[in-house]
Amino acid sequence: MMTRRYKPSLVPVAFILTLVVLLATLFIGQQVAQGMTGIWQLLTGEARQYQSIVVWQWRASRALGALIIGAGLGVSGAVFQSLVRNPLGSPDITGFNVGAFTGVLLSIAWFGNVYWMSVLGAILGGLCAATLVYLFAYREGHSGFRLIIVGIAISATLTAFNQWLSLSVSLETAMTAALWSAGSLNGMTWSRVLPAAILLILLMCIALAMNSRMKLLEMGDDTAAALGVSVNKSRLALMFVGVSLTAVATAITGPIAFISLAAPQIARRLENNASISLTASAVVGAMLLLTADFLAQHAWQGITLPVGLVTISLGGLYLVYLIVREGRL
């Protein structure tokens, strides 16, 4: 009788790679650190003032933002892919991030570029989009495939509405929305990052606390109900947490595509596990966004690209791979 060979988890490797990219993000640059001596001076506070400002005030806040937002998007994608039991069931595909974008656009149009109003607008917009998808997809229960198809339809409708809204507002508001919609980590100061990081960490902790219910829901509604899980309440609570994670991330940076789509599936393969791990998805999501931001800053000399442009370029290839793979199963 053949025994299945044990394969160790590769998530610790992803964690180590994240640390390596973090160090590169902080210290690479001719004007920042000259070798290990320069890095040591920055760590001990002996570097020049402008070097310390560049690293600890500008780069560190941006790097922390990338890590926390990437982790939040990874957890959000894991929650939705678990709920719909389909690797295509991420907020990118089902339109929840487009709904968050709509909420921010309305907030900018009505109240101006006010940070916390944008956050609130993104959460409300994402929840409204999720509610529409949930209601239109309900047919004596929920099918993962039906949720995805309805989500794509809602996403297309909201995208058209967003374009119309951008043409209807003032030029200044339209320019603000256009710059924000590219998805960027520029301007990530500590005053913006820390409140958002606290909120995202809180939401991720809630998702981890509901992890056991999520695993039972993966077994099917009937099985979960037989094991004492309140199916509808648990699904709605998980959807609220997932949408809130996506909405907060979208409000801070603009829409950053495909992190929530790719992170859970990459994490599942790294863990050699059939189920989706929230912790592993958070690690991979943080690694992907931090790496994408590093490429956006250093891949083209003298040009800093919006990180959303990098993720959507790489994620488009990954989406094609997923669609082809799903079609073969």
Kindly list the distances between the CA atom of residue 300 and the CA atoms of 179, 263, 294, 295, 303, in Å, as whole numbers in the listed order: 20, 25, 11, 8, 6
Structure-token pair, residue 13:
């490797």
Domains and CATH numbers, the chain: 49-327 (1.10.3470.10)
Q: What pLDDT does residue 2 have?
A: 46
Structure-token pair, residue 38:
């320069």
Q: What pLDDT does residue 198 have?
A: 92
Give the integer Cα–Cα distance in Å for 249 and 122. 9
Give the integer Cα–Cα distance in Å for 27 and 34. 9
Q: List the alpha helices (DSSP H) in the chain.
A: 11-27, 35-44, 49-52, 60-84, 91-94, 96-111, 115-136, 144-168, 171-181, 190-209, 211-218, 221-226, 231-253, 259-271, 278-298, 307-328
Phi (first) and psi of residue 46, to 5 degrees = -100, 0
136-143's contacts with Cβ under 8 Å and 24+ in sequence apart are 141/221, 142/84, 142/235
Give the chain's radius of gyration (CA, Å): 20
Return the number of other C-beta atoms located less than 10 Å from residue 195's C-beta.
Answer: 15
Place of tokens 């699904």: 235
**pLDDT tens series, the chain, 329 aa:** 444 565 677 778 888 998 998 888 887 766 666 666 666 666 666 667 777 777 777 888 889 999 999 999 999 999 988 888 777 777 877 778 888 888 888 888 888 777 778 778 888 888 888 888 888 877 765 666 777 888 888 888 888 888 888 887 777 777 777 777 777 888 788 888 888 899 999 999 999 998 888 888 777 777 777 877 777 788 888 888 988 898 888 888 888 888 888 888 888 888 877 778 889 999 999 999 999 988 888 877 777 788 888 888 777 777 677 667 655 55
Confirm if 230 and 98 have CB atoms less than 8 A apart: no
Kindly list the distances between the CA atom of residue 147 and the CA atoms of 54, 133, 137, 151, 156, in Å, as whole numbers in the listed order: 45, 7, 5, 6, 14
Give the integer Cα–Cα distance in Å for 21 and 146. 39
Q: Which string of DSSP letters, residue by residue, matches 91-145?
A: HHHHTHHHHHHHHHHHHHHHH-S-HHHHHHHHHHHHHHHHHHHHHHT-SSS--HH
Residue type, 205: C
Q: Report helix angle 259-271 to 307-328, nearest 10.
A: 60
Give the integer Cα–Cα distance in Å for 276 and 272. 10
